[in-house]
Chains A and B, each alone.
Chain A
Amino acid sequence: MGTSESPSFWEQKIGLVSLQKPAIVKSGTSIKEAVQLMQKKKIGCILVVDENENIIGIATDGDLMHEFVGSTLSGDAAIDNIMSVNPKTADKNATVTEIVEMFYHNKFRHIPVIDENNKVIGILSVRGLMNYIAEHMPAEVLNLPPDSSIQSTDTAGG
């Protein structure tokens, strides 16, 4: 990727991409409370930390869907029951290319971004990255003329 001329874009540090504010709960928090926080922060994942603020797990919409909904677990059970432990994190100096590779090789779609002190500075999602591309390439993505082949499913006007 390094030889590409114009997309210096791919070499940019992900710290520059606007990250989502993380939702963080302490280990032992109930699933219900965790989901409430996710909804409040409008984010599809939650980080679980131990008493020293170290990240010990991550739980996502997918985890909740497959591990919790339809299971025998109660909403008061600890989030620890369904989280994925020791999630991968990304260094804030990683490049966009490196993150794309990371998303490419792993099935997760959220990654916590950490600074030099291992502190979480935000969450980068596949969608966030996509939006970054959209903003970077307005001519191809945003500033398009109205396309008659795109059908709206609701009726305008009236």
Chain B
Amino acid sequence: MYTPTLSDALTRKDFISPADVRWCPGCGDYAILNSVHNVLPDLGIPKEKFVFISGIGCSSRFPYYMNTYGFHTIHGRAPAIATGVKVANPELSVWVITGDGDGLSIGGNHLIHTLRRNVDINIILFNNRIYGLTKGQYSPTTPQGQVTKTSPYGTLEHEINPISMAIASQATFVARTIDTSPKHMKEIFKQAALHKGVSFVEVFQNCVIFNNNAWQEVTGRDVRDEHLIFLEQGKPLKFGASANKGLRYSGSSLEVVKIGEHGSTEEDLIVHDATREDSSYAYQLAQLSYPEHPIPVGVFRAVEHESYELLIEKQIDAAISIDGRRNLQRLLKGDEYWEISEGGKKLNMKIGVDSEFDEEIMIMEEQEKELLKLIKDPLSAALRMRIGDIYHEVGHKRASIISVNDSLAKAISLFKSRKVDSMLVAYRDKIVGLLTERDIVMNVVLSSMDRDTTKVSHVMRPSFDLISEDNTVGDAINVIALSGGRHIPIKLRSGEYGIVNTRQILWFIHKKLSESNKQKQVTNVEE
């Protein structure tokens, strides 16, 4: 029987975050973002299992725009953090979003080692051949000779080829796609996601402001068919507007031939196979460069090796099965250690750790005792109770709600007629703020604002944390302490809102403490 699961119902909409996208109009990043939004629902993975991790740069704003878990981390270090995330949570689908500067310069080292470790994560490198976020300095992929803000007479440096680097780092899945072909991008991202082990995808991406048309000569619609070669598994390496050109071996190197000319036939062309264990073929493809050769896009290499996080898991299991679980104290002390006597005059060598004297266990027991003591403490116990208990025992007043668009005059009359000292402010169905006596007094007395035309939205305190009635009293005090207010709105199980104030919380704590003390006195008498 077929049972629908959550992931079946996911659509691209589920992955679009409400944040405003802040890339320049015309940036290639938008197309990449769209393709990722399109791919994720197809993977059959629940939404909460996705994590997007980025470093610094324009591309690294990506996690904000994904309605998934995300981590905008430090410059170049996204691969290191992603490795930690994946090793600790192997069930997650971990994506690294980086750029040519972040991934190849600042974090070049991290990228190489993550690739060679074969951690099962997906790395997408947006290559626009420039530092865009910092306004146009040359990057490791800027072509030699290009004039930029930091190379007024042209760069002297040889550029990095990201695909060659990834293959040399023994990446098990290496691919390239272009931001102007959403269909190809989606296909490549999907393959990358399905690959077990590290996936590295370079995306030719255009920076419309600081390096416009960086890839125009190979990806432009008019020249694309002549200058790009699409790698397709099991198919001959063919390209050209009329698919009349191809690649074949000439000795050990690749050469471009026109089919039908000089006796060359389609049978002479190389049949693409990304699964070759020997990476030299993939490397040769990576070395093809414009204008002598077409530039390959598609999957260069896709081989299966055991991934790092699985190897770690296995190693830990194996070690435990042989040696059992061991503790850190034992490891730190080792088999022999020196003990310095008081005054430092005498050195005693100790051998081994007395099995009965297990310091770590003692520390843990100590901590447990402390914890128990804390739980028995009546004040602590009161703080661990539900805030809903206060609402129902002491307060029991549903919150008055006023609209952001209501006038100050209306708010004032409500305050007086309902004898409340605060109200929640709503916009449509959402609570957006709190209005207190003080907000009114301070604004009305000190300014000449018109009570009939001034809206509540003008004087309210916007945005605060809403807690549910199942949160603890401690949670509530925390929110009050942080917000600087005196009232805490709580969401009731019924879906309605209530307000609890500091005085009620104090009353409640006081009451609980008196009760517990009375109980204690009774017990003492009985004893």
Binding site for B on A (CB under 8 A): 1, 3-4, 6-7, 9-10, 31-32, 35-36, 38-39, 44, 61-62, 64-66, 68-70, 75, 100-101, 103-104, 109, 126-127, 129-131, 133-134, 137, 139-142, 144, 147, 149-155, 157-158
Find out whether the CB atom of B502 lies under 8 angstroms from the CB atom of A126: yes
For A68, give the chain B residue with the smallest CB separation: B445
Find out whether the CB atom of A153 lies under 8 angstroms from the CB atom of B445: no
Nearest CB of B to A42, in Å: 9
Find out whether the CB atom of B466 lies under 8 angstroms from the CB atom of A150: yes
Find out whether the CB atom of A69 lies under 8 angstroms from the CB atom of B412: yes
Residues of chain B in range 510-527 having any CB-CB distance to chain A below 8 Å: 510, 513-514, 516-517, 520-521, 524
B521 CB contacts on chain A under 8 angstroms: 3
0/1 interface trace, chain B 448-484, chain A, CB 8 Å (1 if under): 0000000000000011111110111011011111000
Contacts A1-B513, A127-B486 known; list 6 others, CB within 8 Å: A3-B521, A6-B377, A65-B437, A69-B445, A109-B486, A140-B383
A157 CB contacts on chain B under 8 angstroms: 17, 19, 63-64, 72
For A42, give the chain B residue with the smallest CB separation: B484
A-B contact count (CB 8 A): 161
Find out whether the CB atom of B22 lies under 8 angstroms from the CB atom of A158: yes
Interface residue total, chain B, C-beta cutoff 8 A: 68
Find out whether the CB atom of A153 lies under 8 angstroms from the CB atom of B464: yes
Query: What separation, in Å, do the CA atoms of A100 and B503 have in the docked complex?
Result: 9
Given contacts A39-B446, A154-B463, is CB(A103)–CB(B506) below 8 Å?
yes
Query: What separation, in Å, do the CA atoms of A68 and B474 have in the docked complex?
Result: 36
Query: What separation, in Å, do the CA atoms of A154 and B442 have in the docked complex?
Result: 25
Find out whether the CB atom of B438 lies under 8 angstroms from the CB atom of A130: no
A61 CB contacts on chain B under 8 angstroms: 421, 436-438, 441
Given contacts A65-B437, A66-B416, is CB(A139)–CB(B503) below 8 Å?
no
> B380 interface residue, CB < 8 Å from A?
yes
Nearest CB of A to B53, in Å: 14
Find out whether the CB atom of A65 lies under 8 angstroms from the CB atom of B415: yes
Find out whether the CB atom of A130 lies under 8 angstroms from the CB atom of B480: yes
Find out whether the CB atom of A158 lies under 8 angstroms from the CB atom of B19: yes
Nearest CB of B to A102, in Å: 11
Query: What separation, in Å, do the CA atoms of A139 and B465 have in the docked complex?
Result: 20
For B21, give the chain A residue with the smallest CB separation: A158
Chosen A-B contacts, 15 in total, with CB atoms closer than 8 Å, are: A4-B516, A4-B520, A35-B446, A39-B446, A61-B421, A64-B437, A65-B437, A69-B441, A103-B506, A104-B507, A126-B502, A127-B480, A127-B502, A130-B502, A150-B465
> B378 interface residue, CB < 8 Å from A?
yes
Find out whether the CB atom of A151 lies under 8 angstroms from the CB atom of B383: no
For A2, give the chain B residue with the smallest CB separation: B517
A150 CB contacts on chain B under 8 angstroms: 465-468, 471, 475, 479
B524 CB contacts on chain A under 8 angstroms: 3
Find out whether the CB atom of B474 lies under 8 angstroms from the CB atom of A100: no
Given contacts A126-B503, A130-B477, is CB(A155)–CB(B445) below 8 Å?
no
Given contacts A104-B510, A150-B479, A153-B430, is CB(A140)–CB(B466) below 8 Å?
no
Given contacts A69-B444, A137-B383, A147-B475, is CB(A155)–CB(B502) below 8 Å?
no
B383 CB contacts on chain A under 8 angstroms: 133, 137, 140-141
Given contacts A32-B446, A149-B471, is CB(A7)–CB(B64) below 8 Å?
no
Nearest CB of A to B141, in Å: 28
Shortest 6 CB-CB distances between A and B: which pairs? A158-B19, A140-B383, A154-B463, A140-B474, A65-B437, A64-B441
A147 CB contacts on chain B under 8 angstroms: 467, 471, 475
> B20 interface residue, CB < 8 Å from A?
yes
